[in-house]
Amino acid sequence: MSRRVVLGTAAVTMVALTALTALVVGVGVGHTAGWGAALVVGFALASSSTIVIMKILEERDDGSAHYGRIAVGTSILQDTGSIVLLIFISGQAPTPWALLLVLLWPARYLAGWVLSRISHREMYTLFGITAALLPGYELFEIVGLPGTLGSLVVGALLASHPSAQDLAQSFRPVQELFLVAFFVSVGAAGLPGTGALLMGLAIIALVPLRSAVYTAVLWAMRLRHRSAVLTGLAVGSYSEPALVVAGVGVSQGLLGSQWLQALSLAVAGSFVLASVINKRSGRLVQAVSHALPDHAPDALHPAEAPVDLTGVEVVVFGMGRVGRSTYRRLVSQLPRHGEGAALPVLAVDSDTDKVQDLAAIGLNIIEGDATDTDFWLRLGAGEVRAAVLAMPEPGANLQVLDWIERHGFAGEVVAVARFDDEALEMHERGVDTVINVYQGVGAALADAVTLPRGPVGAGVPTGR
């Protein structure tokens, strides 16, 4: 369902923003550049900056939130559209050798095998840069396709790998460096002329309208007000590939040379504006949310709908191996209250595919990120007696504990910890039971050992 939201949002906003921006550009320079050039600029400016979105989500600590995944997914799809536009306006057709690029699909298993054997962060960065530049950028350039498309394809092929999150985290310093380099390159291009300055400012003025378009589309996709507004604010900035498209357009004679300066100013200005607005988004989110019409609770997107906890006695956060084992044991121990009553145990996990797979085999599970503010806003009334924190990511259970304390949960809290300092902090914060994963396994193994009752060493081979 979330994939449909991402695809639908990317398609609708791409069309709407292309038309809106082309109209502004066409009215301003239609008599000199023509409406064809206006459409090229409009399409290039329709996508949002993935780097800026990731930075905003990181500052909000909402990278794994439902609306955050929609924002990033939409941006990536739109960037892909910009890269496809490059193929059409570059005037260069790919060579027949481009057909061999389908071999990248089986080659991803080899890359995944190598990635599985990396254990150090700096090696993740080295691997990622090498994969993006060699089988990605350079290989696509050789066969006549944009190298940026190749890097994007390589990233998409590795996205399903279990270590993909670690690989993405290793690129954070590189992203910061590229963002600084972008602003330096804009400044090195020199001061724009009067015409380029006015057009750049006019395009920057469209940023609030861009956010409004995203908000309206996501509201129509049945997201809650807060999610729609937060997404709209996060995706307001223009995307860096717009400058690549502008550069190719200038080299092909589709755009005048002043357009590169105008778009550089517009993209850089949108970064600054998006950063300022998102740092002070609280009142704006509240005001716009109150202005939007309400959805009926049963009409909301499944990942946004309220959660009814009636009949639920235990909530298990995190459905990894530990969480699944805990869930099954609790279901076998806790009886249902009457014929046809709901299961007394509810599982919560943020992985959409995992939730769908587990729901298909009969588990009482919902999609939700317990470290996301929106999840707690969705929870309804209930009589939950215990919360089990079984999330495998280091520090995640402490974040969930923050929200449990903030919402005044009075029931029993049981948590697992992988590290001693994490377990100690949980004990100090009043968690009823903390189980160290490794110590728990060791204790279970020791309890399972059946020692002989005879003299020590009896029946033990001497090795002679």
Query: Considering the domain boundaries, does residue 457 fall inside one?
Result: no
What is the C-alpha to C-alpha distance for residues 380 and 365, in angstroms, rounded to an integer? 15
Query: If we measure between CA atoms, which residue out of 208, 212, 211, 128 comes closest to residue 171?
Result: 128
HSE toward the beta carbon, residue 241, CA cutoff 13 A: 29
Give the residue among 253, 266, 244 at the shortest CA–CA distance from 192. Answer: 266
Q: Got the DSSP string for 295-320?
A: PPGGGS-TTTSPEEETT--EEEE--S
CB atoms closer than 10 angstroms to residue 417: 24
**CB neighbour burial string for 224-233, b if at least 16 within 10 angstroms, e if fewer:** bbbbbbbbbb
Q: 194 and 60, same structural domain?
A: yes
Q: Is residue 464 part of a domain?
A: no
State which of 120-134, 265-279, 330-344, 427-441 shows the largest mean pLDDT. Answer: 265-279
pLDDT tens-digit readout, 60-97: 767 767 788 888 889 888 888 877 777 777 666 788 88
Provide the greatest CA pair distance for the chain.
Answer: 102
Which residue range forms the structural domain that includes residue 436?
306-448
- Mean of pLDDT values over 230-252: 84
Tokens of 426: 């949980």
Supply the pTM of this predicted model.
0.68
Pair of tokens at residue 125: 């960065």
Q: Would you say residue 38 lies in a domain?
A: yes
What is the per-residue pLDDT for 286?
A: 76
What is residue 416's three-state secondary structure?
A: strand
DSSP string, 195-215: HHHHHHHHHHTTHHHHHHHHH
Could you tell me the CATH number of the domain that includes residue 272? Answer: 1.20.1530.20
Residue range 268-292: mean pLDDT, rounded: 83
Q: What integer pLDDT is reported at residue 210 of this predicted model?
A: 92
Mean pLDDT within 262-269: 87
Amino acid type, 448: A
Q: Is 348 within the bounds of a domain?
A: yes
Residue 461 lies in a domain: no
- Which residues, listed in sequence order, are joined to residue 346 by a DSSP beta bridge? 315
**284 and 432 share one domain:** no
CB 318 within 8 A of CB 391: yes
d(CA 105, CA 368): 31
Same domain? For 365 and 272 the reply is no
Residues 249 and 344 placed together within one structural domain of the fold: no
Residue 331 clears pLDDT 90, i.e. is over it: no
User: Does residue 403 register a pLDDT over 70?
Assistant: yes
Whether pLDDT at 224 is above 60 = yes
DSSP 281: -
Q: How confident is the model at residue 462 (pLDDT cuts 50, 70, 90)?
A: very low
User: Tens digit of pLDDT for each residue in 348-380?
Assistant: 887 777 888 898 998 888 877 666 666 666 665
CA 17 to chain CA centroid, nearest Å = 22
Q: Residue 463: what pLDDT?
A: 47
Residue finishing a domain among 242, 275, 297: 297
State how many domains the chain has: 2
Q: What is the dihedral of CA 400, 402, 403, 405, to 10 degrees?
A: 120
| Residue 400 phi, psi (nearest 5) | -65, -40
Q: How far apart are CA 141 and CA 90, in angstroms?
A: 12
Rounded Cα distance between 35 and 27, Å, is 9
Helices (H), 30-146: 35-44, 50-60, 66-89, 104-116, 121-131, 139-142
In this structure, the answer to whether residues 284 and 343 fall within a common structural domain is no
